[in-house]
Amino acid sequence: MKVFISRKIPEAGLQYLRDASVEISEWTEKRDLLPEELIAYCKSADAFLSAGGNKIDKTFLHAVRHLKVISLHSAGYDNVDVAAATEIKMPIGNTPGVLSDATADIAFLLMLATSRKAFYMSRIIQQGGWGFFEPTANLGIDIRYKTLGIYGLGKIGFELAKRAAAAFGMEIIYHNRSHNEEAEQELHAQWVSFDDLLEKSDVLSVNTALTAETKGKFNKDVFAKMKPTAIFINAARGSIHNEEDLTEALEKGIIWGAGLDVTNPEPMRPDHPLLSMPNVCVLPHIGSATEETRAAMSLLAAKNIVAGLKGERLPFIVNPAIYA
């Protein structure tokens, strides 16, 4: 049995595949495969391990429907037409859970770095601008005892809330479609309406999946309802916020700052105005980028591949309806 892997992945996953006698074909060039190239490589494989944002749409799925399994090297699956995969009984696996801590750390880092203009001040030093001291210059804002609002309080949001409450005594409010009883009991988190989330949050962190409902959710109208002292954090998916509207909100002082691990589009162009703002911190989508987390992700992705090749139920399945 043979698997095609669309990016170089950590050794943990590769070794698991080797131990299961799976032949590995790995794309190593530092460029995205064209759709027709990806189909061609998958044609000669029995399974596909997708690392990166490969578009797994209906056209692709029908072209490679001979595959026994597709496994994602990610928790998110907004690049997959799940309905089309389910229709042709194609099992899709992902890597949930193992990246919650690392991604929460990045959201926490962005929250603190933005509040103190850390990225900007570091650039000032590099540019030779560390000069005369002014007591009123380069001031950030305190986040201690402020209100952290979380849009989408799942595993990542819960870990972020734990850090914020423990380190800075922050009050936690959140908006979900349903209540998170664990967060309410352990962290005294309070469910609020979406409008209340916007109006009350000193820091508003997006930790939800990208769906039809959340795509473009944070736009001009939404930013206008936030506090002028608020910080917007997005470590989920760039398409959840409208980047032009966010830029305008920051330029006009409608909100105070922003910390982004995701942008729309990715990669962000190097001359984007957000990158030169003192009160904005941008990272290149590195939420899961620790050695331990990426190794764990590769292992989960490999386990999905091996199970699928054996005709077994995937341990981490996106579309369980195929087994009905």
Among all residues, which ones are annotated catalytic? 237, 266, 285
Closest C-alpha among 153, 152, 140, 74 to residue 111: 140
Closest C-alpha among 61, 13, 64 to residue 301: 13
Residue type, 196: D
Strand pairing partners for 191? 174
Q: Kindly state the greatest CA–CA separation across the chain.
A: 69
Rg over CA atoms, the chain? 21
Q: Where are the alpha helices (DSSP H) in 253-318?
A: 291-309
Q: Which residues contact 292 (CB under 8 A, 6 or more apart)?
A: 102
Q: What are phi and psi of 188, to 5 degrees?
A: 55, 35
> What strand order describes the sheet that includes 2-5?
23-26, 2-5, 47-50, 69-72, 92-93
Contact 48, 70 (CB under 8 A): yes
Quote the strand ranges of the chain, DSSP E.
2-5, 23-26, 47-50, 69-72, 92-93, 147-151, 171-175, 190-191, 203-206, 231-234, 257-260, 280-282
Q: What are phi and psi of 185, to 5 degrees?
A: -75, -45
